[in-house]
Structure 1
Amino acid sequence: MKKKYDNESLINESIKYPQVRLIDYLGKQLGICSSEEAISIAINQGLDLVMISDKSNPPVCKIIDYGKYKFSQEKKAKEAKKKQHNACIKEVKMRYKIENHDYKVRLNQALKFLQSGDKVKTTVTFRGREIQHINLAIELLNKMAKDLNEISIVQQIPIKDGKNITMILAPTKK
């Protein structure tokens, strides 16, 4: 009965170590025995011998139902994947001659994005000849960075990109 289901766990005859530390189905340690003896004990119980850890000497093997074990491992991995948050880049756009109230609205948008763990790309756009007022746009972006410096760090300083100037803010680690 030779089985090897995946790359992670060696199972039954694919365990090539001469001796293993054996744990039974209920979690009780049975001590150190030969691989052949451990496999025969597992087969007699209608279960599989699965290598749990090869880091110790001798490696740790457990007598379990491999199908149930694999299912529970996949379920744990799925739960862990659900809990992680992938940071993405949210964008806040404005003009260099923005009114104070509108600036506060954009600031609150950026604040919300940063608090949820996302990065914020702040863009100041120009039309026509407005491009000659780059220094005012850079001042505006620096003001935003200063207003948000308690919960963010500047990941990318203001950079001219065509008819835009962009800056990227990243949330600080807590």
Structure 2
Amino acid sequence: MRDGLDPGQSGRRGEEPSPSEVDPHRPGEDAIRPPFDRTEREKTQRVNDQIRISPVRVVGADGAQLGVIPTSKALELAREADMDLVEVAPNERPPVCKIMDFGKFKYEQKKRTTKQKQHQVQVKEIRVRPKTGDEDIRVKVKKARDFLEHKDKVLVNVLFRGREMAHIEEGRRVLDEVITALEDVAKIEKPPAMEGRRMTAIVAPR
């Protein structure tokens, strides 16, 4: 026996252990590690100078459509009204922003959250015609907005009668006008489609 080695040990120093001597329960370099648990960062709503993209579609504090304008101009309008410019539909192109009191909006949003758990979503209906005038459309939009703010869905129904079936594009124009006016509070759940003598679409609360 040399150098104090036990009889059962290899006679050469530094010799790699045989596979049978490796502990099978000890993880090696090739062991598969469990996936790292990452928590998704909470998404925040962009407000004022956080809105970098330009131009944007702007909705006034009173719900009026102000059109597509440069973001710098939209911020100027918000400051003149002593309010905030809030991005409400970031996935639209261009994004939709609304002039509002953001602090008040967040407070009311928090209050509504507790009520949503008890609220059963219903599908409300508004009806228009291909020749519905601008004033009547505004009334219908206001009614639809009330439904959406109560977290109900809205079925927009364009009714065609007689020869109006020859002018389907007029009905589509009215339907698109209603949907556009609700962009800041609604998203399209069912795109416009003809169903017999009517054209329908469903919008849901954002």
TM-score, normalised to structure 2, is: 0.43
Partner letter of residue 111 of structure 1?
R
Report the counterpart of residue 180 of structure 2 in structure 1.
146
Aligned partner (choices 90, 93, 97) of residue 127 of structure 2: 93
Counterpart of 1:143 in structure 2: which amino acid?
E
Q: 1:171 to 1:83 in 2, by over 3 A?
A: closer
Amino acid of the residue matched to residue 123 of structure 1? N
Per the alignment, residue 15 of structure 1 pairs with none
Deviating more after overlay: 146-155 vs 135-144: 135-144
* Cα separation, 1, equivalents of 2:116 and 2:174: 38
CA contact (8 A) 2:121 2:151 kept: yes
Displacement of 1:82 in angstroms is 10
* CA-CA distance at 1:98 after TM superposition: 0.6
| Cα-to-partner distance string for 1:5-33 (whole Å, 9 max, x where unaligned) | xxxxxxxxxxxxxxxxxxxxxxxxxxxxx
Q: Measure the CA separation in 2 of the matches of 1:103 and 1:146.
A: 12
Deviation at 1:126, TM superposition (A): 0.8
Q: Note the C-alpha offset of 1:104.
A: 0.7
Closer, same or farther: CA 123–81 of 1 in aligned 2, 3 Å = closer
1:83, distance to aligned residue in structure 2 (A): 5.2
Q: Aligned match of 2:118 in 65, 73, 84?
A: 84
Provide the secondary structure at the position in 1 that maps to 2:121. coil
Amino acid at match of 1:149: E
State whether structure 2 residue 170 is matched by structure 1 residue 104: no
Taking only the aligned residue pairs, the percentage that are identical comes to 34
Segments of 5+ residues of structure 1 without an aligned counterpart are 1-79
Aligned to 1:159: 193
Match of 1:114 among 121, 133, 148: 148
- The root-mean-square deviation of aligned C-alpha atoms, in Å, is 1.9
Change (3 A) 1:100 1:83: same
Q: Tell me whether 1:137 sits opposite 2:171 in the alignment.
A: yes
| Structure 1 residues 105 and 158, CA gap change in structure 2 (3 angstroms) | same
TM-score where L is the length of structure 1: 0.51
* Unaligned residue ranges in structure 2 (runs of 5+): 1-113
Superposed CA deviations along residues 54-102 of structure 1, whole A, max 9, x for unmatched, are xxxxxxxxxxxxxxxxxxxxxxxxxx99951110100000111011111
Q: Distance in 2 between matches of 1:82 and 1:133?
A: 41
- Equivalent pairs, count: 93
CA-CA distance at 1:141 after TM superposition: 1.1
**Highest CA radius of gyration, 1 or 2?**
2
Please give the secondary structure, in 2, of the residue aligned with 1:131.
helix
Report which of the two has the higher share of strand.
Answer: 1
Contact kept, 8 Å, 2:116 with 2:151, in 1: the verdict is no
Tell me by how many angstroms 1:149 deviates. Answer: 0.4
